[in-house]
Amino acid sequence: MIMYISIPICPESFRCAALPPFMYPFYNATDTSCGLIKVNCTPKPEEILIGGWPYVILERSDSGSSVLIYNKTFDQLLNNNTCEALMENFTSPSPLLYSFSTDPFITLFKCPNKLGYAQQVHTYFNQRNYNSYNGCEGYNFYYKYLVSNATVQKDLPSTCQVIQLPVKQRWQFYPQQPDEINISSLLSSAFTISFQMSASCEDCHRRFGQCDTNNGYFQCIHAVEGIYSVFSSSFFSLFGCAKTDS
């Protein structure tokens, strides 16, 4: 049996109240098949969905894909000084389709504190003048305040995980100085996030297609020509239609 795949006609842009127009890869919650990043215009203030979590939209520029957002749950975790806040990792949920970056951010290194190699890890970061936080069961965290472009050293201990979290800027503490020992006080629940489509998705969209994934593969469904494309890191193939066994 041959199954022809089609997608609905999608609006070029949409608006949420007083916010500037949204365009692809954003899509209105009422048009579920028209983009990659869901925006819900119904609640006030409006929300954007990232990695399954809703974020309040505080501000958005007239152009581009950058949005100033706020996460209430993350704010509560920070106010309660819980370790769960440090376990979050603001990394892209779907790298085959798009990636995002936060600004500004801080790089943390989450390392198990098991006996046998904990002292070696601590010595590694201590020699590089990193701050440390050991208030979480099972892990120690190492960081430098406001080093947004910190690179991961090649000799980083293999047991450590790299985590990026939104961070406050120094002017936000004025006239006081930030308490660099209290990691939770440095983090921010409001931050700017910028989205970037993957090269494959960008190419697909230029050809008036829609990006999606299926079983770890990138898909491009072309609305105009009915082309169904499947990409992977190792091969590229095109089909005039998609077939299913019957």
Asked if residues 189 and 80 have their Cβ atoms less than 8 Å apart, the reply is no
The CA-atom distances, in angstroms, between 226 and each of 87, 101, 103, 170, 172 are 43, 33, 39, 52, 52
Domain range summary for the chain, segments of one domain joined by +: 77-195
Alpha-carbon distance of 140 to 101, in angstroms, equals 25
Residue 228 pLDDT greater than 60, yes or no: no
Alpha-carbon distance of 122 to 140, in angstroms, equals 9
At residue 239, the pLDDT reads: 32
Q: Give 77-110 as a DSSP string.
A: HHHTT-THHHH-----S-TTTEEEEEESEEEEEE
- Which of residues 228 and 198 earns the better pLDDT score? 198
DSSP state of 142: E
| Average pLDDT, integer, range 142-150 | 77
Place of tokens 């999608």: 10
Least confident range of 142-151, 177-186, 210-219: 142-151
pTM for the complete prediction?
A: 0.75
Strand order in the sheet with 139-143: 131-136, 139-143, 105-112, 161-166
Average pLDDT of the residues of the chain: 81
- Which of residues 177 and 237 earns the better pLDDT score? 177
Alpha-carbon distance of 24 to 50, in angstroms, equals 15
Least confident range of 8-17, 39-48, 58-67, 223-232: 223-232
